[in-house]
Amino acid sequence: MFPEEYKTAWLSALDLMNTKRTNRFLIDARKHKAISLENQCWFKKEFLEIAHRKAQQIPDLPKVARINSPNIDNIEAMKSINRQIEESNYSFEYLTFDQYQDALEWLFEENTVAV
């Protein structure tokens, strides 16, 4: 995907979350191929910070579930992105899944507090 198309797609997804006032986001990457180095750098340096700022404006903590791609090039590209998300204190929860159903269950599980 060309850099401008890549950026537009991700920024549009954030705008949609804001417009629809949702705190749940599913990334279905099962058909994704390799991510160019340029797109990886933009995602890590710019997009995650934009997402972090926008997530702070949502009343409930946003949850992002990503369904992994089986493509080895995509898996390799996502390693550093996933590591950055794990090591940072972003204002959203993020988990990766191999199965679609597992991702949906996590996104829509109720957070209950034991009394």
Structure tokens at 14: 């954030």
Q: How far apart are CA 99 and CA 66, in angstroms?
A: 10
- Domain residue ranges of the chain, discontinuous segments joined by +: 1-8+25-86
**Alpha helices, DSSP H, located in 1-115:** 3-20, 37-42, 48-55, 72-87, 100-108
In the β-sheet with 93-97, what is the strand arrangement from edge to edge? 24-28, 63-67, 93-97
pLDDT in tens, the chain (115 residues): 788 999 999 999 999 988 888 899 999 999 999 999 999 999 999 999 999 999 998 888 999 999 999 999 999 999 989 999 999 999 999 999 999 999 999 999 976 444 4
